[in-house]
Amino acid sequence: MKFKLFLIFVDCNRHIQFDRILKAMAQKATHYFVKETTERKWKVINAEGKILGRLAVEIANALRGKDKAIFTPNQDCGDFVVVINSEKIKVTGDKANQKFHHRHSGHYGGHKMESHGNLLQRRPNEIIRRAVKGMLPHNRLSERLITKLKIYAGAEHPHEAQLAA
């Protein structure tokens, strides 16, 4: 496509050449994420004494890659996240007694309801996993993202080799 030299008149009778503007616009391009060029890192997050919702936001942003310059909404460009001390998370107010978690087996009468405090004692990892999954996009991408989340109740985890690399 051939461009002719046009002049744009700007205030005070100054002239700007149109071809210079086109060249400047052509240099600006959107760069998209490519799986082969990214580096996946491993992050360790200590959940001891942290509030559940704020912790879940931090984890979800790391899983999606929102803290990176190459963030692309429809791609998996995030890091692996290891959460330790999940049994020591906090919730504000009286949510330990007032908040309930629901699940259903799929059979008639299969609705189960459990308080937050009981679930925290029984399965502390499940509370963080549910909170993070609720903050991820609700599509097939979230299934891939949630597999990069590793949650442990204590301070020890088997991912020391990945963190050293």
Both tokens assigned to 126:
């499940």
The model's confidence at residue 23, banded by pLDDT at 50, 70 and 90, is low
pLDDT of residue 14: 43
Domain residue extents for the chain: 41-164
Mean pLDDT of the chain: 85
Place of tokens 């051939």: 2
pLDDT of 32 > 90? The answer is no
User: Per-residue pLDDT averaged across 76-105, rounded?
Assistant: 93
The architecture that CATH gives domain 41-164 is Alpha-Beta Complex (3.90)
User: Per-residue pLDDT averaged across 13-19, rounded?
Assistant: 53
pLDDT of 1 > 70? The answer is no
pLDDT of 139 > 60? The answer is yes
Q: How does 48-82 read in b/e, with b if 16+ C-beta sit within 10 Å?
A: eebebeebbebbbbbbbbeebeeebeebbbbbbbb
pLDDT of 94 > 60? The answer is yes
pLDDT of 8 > 60? The answer is no
The model's confidence at residue 127, banded by pLDDT at 50, 70 and 90, is very high
Whole-number Å distance between alpha carbons of 147 and 92: 28
